[in-house]
Structure 1
Amino acid sequence: MKTDMNNQQTERVPQIKDTPNLPQHLLLSLTEGFNMEDVSQLLRGIPEIQMTTGKRQVGIDECVKLMSTPVLHTSVCVTGVSGVGHISRVMSDRVWISEYNNLILTDTTGDTIHRVTDIITLYTGVHTVNSSGELIYIDSDDNINKLSVNNHTVTTQIECTYPWIPLCVYCSPSTGDLMVGMCNDDTGTGKVTRYNSSGQHILTIQHDNKRQTLYSEPFYITENTNGDIIVSDGLRDAVVVTERGGRHRFSYTGPPSGSSLNPYGICTDALSHILVCDLNTDTVQMIDKDGHFLSLLLTPQHGINTPRGLNYDDKTHLLWVGSQYTNTVSVYRYLQRRYSLTDNPDRDERITEDSS
């Protein structure tokens, strides 16, 4: 029996092939000490071993994880508004906040830095920020404008024409493309139109594969990490999700409890969760990238009241939540780092906290 076991163990031991002929200076270095270049040259001589250089690529799910319960990080009382309909982040401590016909740039003290007056009179996702920090918004003439970083120069990016009225706009952080949610007052239908950063038309998403209209009133729009386009449709009471190319993936209409959905502000996070404000239940709901309900992330018990605007900060992993009827923006932490990422030069220590 012992002989058989020894034979089995011997069979499991990998056989060592003949070692390659090594240069004399490498053999010498192995007896006197070695450096990484010597080791690299040594291992490159063995076909079965492949060498790679550079930093290890760490998946985002290795960096952050869900906390057991969200924690209120800070609250910002914004002096320039009476309610918060939408939030677009410029930096971790500087955001654009809008209500019906009021759009202001504020910091974490709530002070107004700049105000835009020619904004469309809507309580929807009427502005966004591109990778250069420029504000892009829908003006009072239903056109898509861009405001320079110094807040001095306004240029028209896209001219919209009746009967299609833009309701929301979003700039893709991955491509720089603009996605505009529009509605047709004559037909009561909606569409999402994609443009490149120069304002040239790329794609229109309007129907599913059965030629049924996907949207009625696309109030808010965002993009997930997999490229999915996510629309909060206030008239259809659904979150409508399509692939980047426009194929309908699913529509989320509420949690398993059977409560209907009245969706408004939406965003996604580093783990591809979709977060949506629901005015029916006064909650922020979390679903996964495939439309499965995960949790009521924030409820009135967490201190929120009629949540309307959402923004996720991908550098600090903080969630900004705006209320429809108050000028207070609540900032929550619901994701925490598994370990510290010390090589992030853009981390803003003024708003982050040690989550270890």
Structure 2
Amino acid sequence: MDERDNDTCQFCYDRVIFRCTPCKITLCKDCVAVHIKMNSGDSHKIVLFEDIREETTRQLLTRGIVTSGFDSLNDVSYKENGMLYVCSEKYKTIKLLNLSGRNITSFDASKNPLCVTSTSNGVLYTEFGIRAVMFYSKGRIQHLFSTGDWQPQGIITSQTGNILLTLRRKSQAKLVTYRPHGYINSEIQFHNKEQLFSDPWYIVESPRGNICVSDQGRNAVICVSSNGELIFQYSRKGSSFYPRGVCADATSHFVVADPWNNKLHYISACGELICYLQYDAMDSPMSISTVTDKPNCFLICEVSGLIYDIEM
């Protein structure tokens, strides 16, 4: 995707604020007068770029469709070599499928799984009512470590090999980085002495190392640095927004699934809406996973049970 056309002024490459619609030029606040002066003989209409951008939808290419055999899918995680883990909120079973839909292996969790994340030799997962991180590898289920009286929800592995969890306990919530055997490395819970999260679920770490979380309690996507600094909070003021799955592309922009509005929000690394994304027959996208060995490709699981192999 052409990042410059979407995010930066076409004169100075500063952040876009305005657009001249007749000239099809994106502008920062300082370059509006420059543009008009340079093209004084033309007619101009300067509008807020956000107003134009929100109406823009880009079509994505569907490379394939996988039938999971589940309904009410809630998470998908790409493994490698065309394989993926998938789970549903209605079933105990976690499946390893290939991109043709063939069941490579499956196993039953103790209770209904919430989120899954692939590792080099298995899969980590969280379960409803189980205050622990679970690990499955080579036919064996292991209780990896306890999370005390906190319910783990979203889970991923970081670029450094640590485990990132969103945790909830009554009215409290936090994002915690654990070392592989359960030692806490860092906790992110507050911003300006107030609770940063309400009901955080899905997590992604961008190539820049920033962590983006979809918060169903706040109806927002919250992005923080690895040391806990708030980078942005993205929400849709004046309209409904129900963020679920989130992933990052190679440029550290984010794709957020909004199943109840049947939308994919494409958000810049600084929290600005770039556009909406669409693919053929899209129906309630729920979770998104980067296809790590194919640049600009993603897996998107829908509530219905279908998993779309998508190229940006």
- Interval of TM-score (by shorter of Structure 1 and Structure 2): 0.7 to 0.9
Contact kept? 2:215, 2:221, Cα under 8 Å: yes
User: In structure 2, what residue type is equivalent to 1:184?
Assistant: R
Q: Over the residues paired in the alignment, what is the CA RMSD in angstroms?
A: 1.9
- Give 2:163's match in structure 1, choosing from 171, 178, 187: 178
* Residues 175-220 of structure 1 deviation map (CA, whole Å, 9 limit, x = unaligned): 00101101112xx221011111222111111001x11101111111
User: In structure 2, what residue type is equivalent to 1:191?
Assistant: K
- Cα 1:207–1:138 shift into 2, 3 Å: same
In the other structure, the counterpart of 1:61 is none
What SS does structure 1 have at the residue aligned with 2:233?
Answer: strand
In the other structure, the counterpart of 2:27 is none
In the other structure, the counterpart of 2:287 is 309
More strand by percentage? 2
Is 1:89 the counterpart of 2:78? The answer is yes
User: In structure 1, what residue type is equivalent to 2:75?
Assistant: H
Is 1:138 the counterpart of 2:126? The answer is yes
Contact kept? 2:256, 2:265, Cα under 8 Å: yes
Is 1:105 the counterpart of 2:96? The answer is yes
Query: How does the TM-score come out when normalised to structure 2?
Result: 0.76
* Residues 161-185 of structure 1 deviation map (CA, whole Å, 9 limit, x = unaligned): 22x111111111x200101101112
Is 1:246 the counterpart of 2:233? The answer is no
* Residues 315-338 of structure 1 deviation map (CA, whole Å, 9 limit, x = unaligned): 2131111111x121111111xxxx
Distance in 1, matches of 2:181 and 2:298, equals: 30
* Residues 221-267 of structure 1 deviation map (CA, whole Å, 9 limit, x = unaligned): 1111111111101111000111001111111003x8x4331000111
In the other structure, the counterpart of 1:190 is 173
For residues 226-237 of structure 1, the aligned pairs below 5 Å read 226-237=208-219
- Give 2:143's match in structure 1, choosing from 116, 137, 156: 156
In the other structure, the counterpart of 2:245 is 265
Is 1:202 the counterpart of 2:202? The answer is no
Deviation for aligned residue 1:283:
0.7
User: In structure 2, what residue type is equivalent to 1:322?
Assistant: C
User: In structure 1, what residue type is equivalent to 2:298?
Assistant: L
- Cα 1:271–1:120 shift into 2, 3 Å: farther
User: In structure 2, what residue type is equivalent to 1:228?
Assistant: N
Contact kept? 1:97, 1:105, Cα under 8 Å: yes
For residues 270-289 of structure 1, the aligned pairs below 5 Å read 270-289=250-269
Q: Which runs of 5+ in 1 are unaligned?
A: 1-67, 335-356
Contact kept? 2:234, 2:271, Cα under 8 Å: yes
- Give 1:293's match in structure 2, choosing from 273, 281, 288: 273
In the other structure, the counterpart of 1:213 is 195
Contact kept? 1:103, 1:119, Cα under 8 Å: no
* Residues 48-76 of structure 1 deviation map (CA, whole Å, 9 limit, x = unaligned): xxxxxxxxxxxxxxxxxxxx631111111
For residues 331-342 of structure 1, the aligned pairs below 5 Å read 331-334=309-312
Deviation for aligned residue 1:119:
5.1
Distance in 1, matches of 2:270 and 2:176, equals: 22
Distance in 1, matches of 2:106 and 2:126, equals: 14
Query: How does the TM-score come out when normalised to structure 1?
Result: 0.67
For residues 69-84 of structure 1, the aligned pairs below 5 Å read 69-79=59-69, 81-84=70-73
What SS does structure 2 have at the residue aligned with 1:263?
Answer: coil
Would you identify which runs of 4 or more consecutive aligned residues in structure 1 move more than 4 Å? none
- Cα 1:92–1:285 shift into 2, 3 Å: farther
Distance in 2, matches of 1:129 and 1:198, equals: 16
In the other structure, the counterpart of 2:151 is 165
Contact kept? 2:80, 2:293, Cα under 8 Å: no
Contact kept? 2:244, 2:286, Cα under 8 Å: yes
Contact kept? 1:274, 1:289, Cα under 8 Å: yes
Distance in 1, matches of 2:309 and 2:277, equals: 13
Contact kept? 1:127, 1:169, Cα under 8 Å: yes
Q: Which runs of 5+ in 2 are unaligned?
A: 1-57
Deviation for aligned residue 1:292:
0.8
What SS does structure 2 have at the residue aligned with 1:147?
Answer: strand
User: In structure 2, what residue type is equivalent to 1:136?
Assistant: L
Distance in 2, matches of 1:327 and 1:138, equals: 20
What SS does structure 2 have at the residue aligned with 1:264?
Answer: coil
